[in-house]
Structure 1
Amino acid sequence: MKSLGVVLVVCWTLASPPATAIEDPWDEPTWVAQGGGWSGPPFNATPPAGRGICLRQATSFVSSADHLPGWALHMLSSSSELRDGLAGAFPPPLGPFSGCPSHSPPSSDFLGAVGKYCVANVTLVGPQIDNSTGRHLLARPLVENYLLSFCAEAACSSSALSDALGDFFNRSMASDLDAGTTVNLIQCKTWRREQPMHAPEIAAVCFIVFFGLMVIIGTCYEGFGRAKPRDNNGAWSRILLSFSLLTNAPKLIAASTNDGTMNCLFGLKFFSICWIIFGHTFYNTIMLPLTNPYYFAQLPKQWIRMLVYNESVAVDTFLLISGLLLAIVFLRERDRGVSFNPILFYLHRILRLTPPYAVVVFFYATLLYRLGSGPAWDTLVGYNAKTCRLNWWTNLLYVNNYVKIEEPCMDHSWYLAVDTQLYFVSPVVLLLMYRSRVFRLFVYPILVVVAALVPFSITAAFKLPAAMFVNGPPEDVTRVFTHVYMPAYARAGPYLVGVGLGFFLHYNHKRPLLLPKYVVALGWTFSTASLLTVIFGVYGLMQVDHVYNVWESSFYAGFHRTAWALALSWVIFACMHGYAGAVNSILSWSFLTPFARLTYCMYLSHYIIILYFAGSTRTSVYLSVNEVVRNFFGNLVIVVFVSMALSLTFEFPFVGISKAFIKREGRPRRTVDIGNQPDDSGTIAAPRDKGEVSPEYSCSGANADHPMFPDVEKGSKEETRSLGDRASNTKHAYSNSAYESTP
């Protein structure tokens, strides 16, 4: 085997013109990778003074090849080793990143240069030959995405290195194969000396320190106040107390709840966010250089792998819960006699959702890039930092699923835009359903069907695949993501199902619904069958020998998300009314309560952790289920702790401030109880007390009108005890921490 590093510099030495007296083009090592730091030469920069320094460094390196001093060994070890039979072979592992840029030769021997670690994507394109005529047809790739690493001289420009590498392949093997060579340098980087912090980064540090101090001051203020009581009704007192850990931490980590029948949402939220994190961990792993790329191609052939490829339906679970709790909050406020105030409706949403979101976007744009380094750092982390510096405003305006979608800030944040847009148009549906029984019974079902027909029609019109098949052509993934996956009008089905479920549960929460056993059995049968069909129904569509059928793809794309929401609606209903048994016990497990309160902040922050570890990977990765599972659990643990810090420092305090200065007050009004039914003993269930406190929402469970991760926790003290067991046939009610005055 031959070290590519030696081959490259020899090739470059032979191909270069004679050296001339030139000054070193760069005074000090710096990033030269695309998407790098705040300043420095661009990726494709050519040294303005010419190629003389590069040639002299290459000559010096080659002259050291006989005795191989320590610095030369480190540089060679960072280069991939070519194997015989390149065409059709799997790429060799990338050399270790740390061996190249961190080891520099003595300045007297090597002109003060340092190593530059580069990763190149090589493609050999050969002619397509018609066997019947022998004529050359369209070009076909012999070798694609062949990733190689090499440690080159820092003074050599990226274009010069690409030319040298291409020249090597053309001389050594492409000519024998009658093929052309395309070389794309993905990134090159030299050893990065610490650069001074720029104004945005300094502002980010000051911002974080300020809120950290506010948490400390608020905690001390409350602690001293408990020892010496004081009047806490002043504006500054309420602000400081909103930051206190003595108040916020117990609410976050408390595992105890009452027997509220919506406690099943705890489990649905937690397992859904875990599913999302697992999927994102997998997708970022396969983006890394792999030593066994063939394994990725084999994954779609296994049924169980559909759990990974179809994790996107976990987002539809949150859309369902969003619509469900939004409808319940809306109806309970109407029952309290609170008039609908559109200004407070929208203001409440923005103030509760935006603060932690803005903090994470700010972190992406400023400090994220400084966290680490690695061969894939600029491809993963640098790109995200760059796009957030440019397009942060699309996120804070919640239009990033329509604007600048080619350069999105926080790839996963499209969901927050979709959820917010659906929230903003929801009053139209909510008010019509509230005021018109005809609309609820006849128009609403039509809306649900239309919401499913929208992605059906788009898929048929553009002849799109049924879903985003990561094993398919990249352009197909992009088209599905752009036309079907991100637009709010294509994701409205589960949200509308949640709204309808909320109305049904609200109007029937007082009456025990006693269903025959065969009805319960049918409900679970159809629900389970629908869930399994949605997850595993794409198996045949993902196989390489599958023949595309536009109607087959359109049907799945149009109806699978709505079917998922309808199936989960039965699960929620069954848990509420005692027909879920062990399923309800698992989903309502009190141990999951603290983690469920963190789901929104986990969603915001989990990609930072995934990007960090993926971008910091120093060499090629062996892809396996065990590797992905191990990375997932490591990511999950760290995400929980990061989410706790984000919640206690930014989310909980702004929830407290919002509640302290924005009041929703209503007057109790007379209502007609429609659900007082006798229990088995003939006793009439007591009617629900009126005038419960207005609902709240938060990513940690502190404010429940954030439609993505509404929290279900302890109900108000006036709540009647829920049905814990269908056989007991006790009074029914639903409870939610949203209905409490404190988070």
Structure 2
Amino acid sequence: MTIVRLLILVTLIFNFVASTVIDDAKCDAQLEYFDQALSKHEKWAIEYDTKVEKIQGKHCMIFYRALENATEHESDRKFNWREMKKFNIPKLYLHRFLRVTPVLAILILIALSIMKFMGSGPYFNFFLFGTTVSQCQDYYWTALLHIQNYYNPRDVCISSSWYLSVDYQLVLLSPLILYPAYYFGWKFLWTLPTYIIGIQIWTFIAALENGYKPIRRFMTYEANQKSRDEFYFPTHIRCGPWLIGIILGYIFYKLKNRKISINKYLNTSMWILSIGTIVAILLGIFGLQSVEYSDNKIAHALFFALQRNSWGLAIAWIVFSCEMGYGSVIRKFLELPIWIPLGRMSLSFYLVHVLYFTLHVGSSRVPTNFDDFQMMHLFAGDIIVTTMLATLLWLTFEEPILLIENFIYKFIEQRRLKPSK
């Protein structure tokens, strides 16, 4: 399911194009509230305000494999669940740290050193130093320790790296799920949906009381910052799709590669429900900004509370149905080998595109024309350039580090198995 993560990443980049050209126009025109006016336009509101949901899909896709990774040494899937004691926790932590941290460190170094020589423009210094350099000078260490979503959520070093903090914290917490599942099975795992529902209820009540809205540009600055501090960055709030992925991974483990029969009417209904949920989340902004619902606190609070985990559930069903052999043409498309190399570079894509857009917007000298053709033109060009930069980053840093890590593991294993004289 590499393509699922890749498609999520592409839509993230497209949404980032929309948000960065909004900031571009705001600065060029010197209109403080230009972005709010633009967000009220139906078409741009979708592109601008729904990019965060895609990240939930990545959480679900990454962590549904957690149980499989714990038993990866048994390729025949005849692993006894009670052999979980063989699960190497230090190796899990080290691998994930080496997977994401060196690449992030390289980009932080680039941002603090040579990026200032890579562009120019009337707002270049404002964008570079105001959104990247100053934050990285003060908080590079929290980024590398993956704690900035709690320690400095309003001054994130490289804006997209907050997700890596959440990602690594979830990896650190994974044994707290795996070991109880080892001892208690479904008796423990049934507590996870309870936690998810509890978080949704809490989020709904807080959104209702404080006026939080899914269209963050419709809130006051203070309400926006408070909602991000309380419900956007914290791992304990954002972990719903991760828990859904854990449950999905456990279901796959229990099936042990067996295919189950799904009634065609049930399968069709679930596919319609899943795709409908995704479309509703993406297009729900239309209704929420209409006259009838613009001031409807209950509608905004429900959308604010339910969108995240609903997206994760929809992705989980698509994965489950495809794995059970009911994906038909969709599964064949998702499993095309052409997606594999691009999927492997998803981390480099995710990190490098922010720095590229910082240079792109900071170097703008004229206002951007907001029309469909212009947006698609920008998107296509940005995808090509981002792919080139991500490929360079992956070949020079990300993949070599992983190869060195694998070599060290193999060397240690060979020394361990080598008979003593």
Q: TM-score, normalised by structure 1?
A: 0.51
Find the counterpart in structure 1 of residue 6 from structure 2. Answer: 270
Q: Deviations over 1:470-503 (max 9, x none)?
A: 3554444323222211111111110100010011
Looking at both structures, which has the greater relative contact order when contacts are Cα pairs under 8 Å and sequence separation is at least 6?
A: 2
Q: Deviations over 1:347-369 (max 9, x none)?
A: 22212221111111111122112
Q: Is the 8 A contact 1:323 1:495 kept in 2?
A: yes
What pairs up with 1:161-176 in 2 under 5 angstroms? none
Find the counterpart in structure 2 of residue 242 from structure 1. Answer: none
Using a 3 Å threshold, how does the CA distance of structure 1 residues 475 and 468 change in structure 2: closer, same or farther?
farther
Give the letter aligned to residue 527 of structure 1: S
**Quick one: distance in 1 between partners of 2:337 and 2:89?**
36
Q: 1:462 offset after TM fit, Å?
A: 3.2
Using a 3 Å threshold, how does the CA distance of structure 1 residues 283 and 308 change in structure 2: closer, same or farther?
closer
Q: 1:537 offset after TM fit, Å?
A: 2.2
Using a 3 Å threshold, how does the CA distance of structure 1 residues 421 and 295 change in structure 2: closer, same or farther?
closer
Q: Deviations over 1:623-644 (max 9, x none)?
A: 2232222112111111111111
User: SS of the residue aligned with 1:286?
Assistant: helix
Indicate which of 134, 153, 178 corresponds to 1:405: 153
Q: Deviations over 1:97-123 (max 9, x none)?
A: xxxxxxxxxxxxxxxxxxxxxxxxxxx
**Quick one: distance in 2 between partners of 1:352 and 1:400?**
18
Find the counterpart in structure 2 of residue 603 from structure 1. Answer: 350
Q: Is the 8 A contact 1:266 1:593 kept in 2?
A: yes
User: SS of the residue aligned with 1:578?
Assistant: coil
User: SS of the residue aligned with 1:389?
Assistant: helix
Q: 1:622 offset after TM fit, Å?
A: 2.1
Q: Is the 8 A contact 1:269 1:599 kept in 2?
A: yes
Using a 3 Å threshold, how does the CA distance of structure 1 residues 349 and 645 change in structure 2: closer, same or farther?
same
**Quick one: distance in 2 between partners of 1:445 and 1:307?**
30
Give the letter aligned to residue 281 of structure 1: V
**Residue 60 of structure 2 corresponds to residue 313 of structure 1:** no
Unaligned runs of 5+ in 2: 415-421
Find the counterpart in structure 1 of residue 164 from structure 2. Answer: 416
**Quick one: distance in 2 between partners of 1:403 and 1:416?**
14
Q: Is the 8 A contact 1:322 1:498 kept in 2?
A: yes
Q: 1:468 offset after TM fit, Å?
A: 4.0
Q: Deviations over 1:401-439 (max 9, x none)?
A: 122233221111111111111111111111111221243
Q: Is the 8 A contact 1:469 1:542 kept in 2?
A: no
Q: 1:322 offset after TM fit, Å?
A: 1.6
Give the letter aligned to residue 508 of structure 1: L
Indicate which of 558, 564, 576 corresponds to 2:305: 558
Q: 1:586 offset after TM fit, Å?
A: 2.2
Find the counterpart in structure 2 of residue 640 from structure 1. Answer: 387
Q: Is the 8 A contact 1:455 1:557 kept in 2?
A: yes
**Quick one: distance in 1 between partners of 2:209 and 2:268?**
39
Q: 1:595 offset after TM fit, Å?
A: 1.2
Q: Is the 8 A contact 2:241 2:309 kept in 1?
A: yes
Q: Deviations over 1:279-316 (max 9, x none)?
A: 11111111123689889736644368525421211101
**Quick one: distance in 2 between partners of 1:327 and 1:591?**
27
**Quick one: distance in 1 between partners of 2:139 and 2:148?**
8
Using a 3 Å threshold, how does the CA distance of structure 1 residues 299 and 406 change in structure 2: closer, same or farther?
closer
Give the letter aligned to residue 59 of structure 2: L
Q: 1:549 offset after TM fit, Å?
A: 4.1
**Quick one: distance in 1 between partners of 2:253 and 2:394?**
30
**Quick one: distance in 2 between partners of 1:593 and 1:453?**
38
**Residue 67 of structure 2 corresponds to residue 327 of structure 1:** yes
Indicate which of 183, 195, 199 corresponds to 1:435: 183
**Quick one: distance in 1 between partners of 2:207 and 2:35?**
30
Q: 1:333 offset after TM fit, Å?
A: 4.9
**Quick one: distance in 2 between partners of 1:470 and 1:591?**
38
User: SS of the residue aligned with 1:548?
Assistant: coil
Q: 1:441 offset after TM fit, Å?
A: 5.3
Using a 3 Å threshold, how does the CA distance of structure 1 residues 373 and 296 change in structure 2: closer, same or farther?
same
**Quick one: distance in 2 between partners of 1:316 and 1:607?**
19
What pairs up with 1:439-450 in 2 under 5 angstroms? 439-440=187-188, 442-450=190-198
**Quick one: distance in 2 between partners of 1:594 and 1:370?**
31
Using a 3 Å threshold, how does the CA distance of structure 1 residues 432 and 451 change in structure 2: closer, same or farther?
farther
Find the counterpart in structure 1 of residue 419 from structure 2. Answer: none
Q: 1:533 offset after TM fit, Å?
A: 1.9
Give the letter aligned to residue 309 of structure 2: T
What pairs up with 1:542-621 in 2 under 5 angstroms? 542-543=289-290, 546-621=293-368
Give the letter aligned to residue 288 of structure 1: D
Q: 1:342 offset after TM fit, Å?
A: 2.9
Give the letter aligned to residue 410 of structure 1: I
Using a 3 Å threshold, how does the CA distance of structure 1 residues 393 and 574 change in structure 2: closer, same or farther?
same
Paired residue total: 401
Give the letter aligned to residue 372 of structure 1: G
Give the letter aligned to residue 432 of structure 1: P
Using a 3 Å threshold, how does the CA distance of structure 1 residues 473 and 443 change in structure 2: closer, same or farther?
closer
Q: 1:453 offset after TM fit, Å?
A: 3.3
Using a 3 Å threshold, how does the CA distance of structure 1 residues 340 and 511 change in structure 2: closer, same or farther?
closer
What pairs up with 1:88-127 in 2 under 5 angstroms? none
User: SS of the residue aligned with 2:295?
Assistant: coil
**Quick one: distance in 2 between partners of 1:367 and 1:544?**
48
Using a 3 Å threshold, how does the CA distance of structure 1 residues 441 and 643 change in structure 2: closer, same or farther?
closer
Using a 3 Å threshold, how does the CA distance of structure 1 residues 437 and 614 change in structure 2: closer, same or farther?
same
Q: 1:321 offset after TM fit, Å?
A: 0.9
Q: 1:569 offset after TM fit, Å?
A: 1.0
Q: 1:512 offset after TM fit, Å?
A: 1.9
Indicate which of 426, 429, 433 corresponds to 2:174: 426
Indicate which of 30, 34, 37 corresponds to 1:297: 37
Unaligned runs of 5+ in 1: 1-264, 667-743
**Quick one: distance in 2 between partners of 1:343 and 1:564?**
31
**Quick one: distance in 1 between partners of 2:125 and 2:258?**
58
User: SS of the residue aligned with 1:349?
Assistant: helix
Larger radius of gyration, structure 1 or 2? Answer: 1
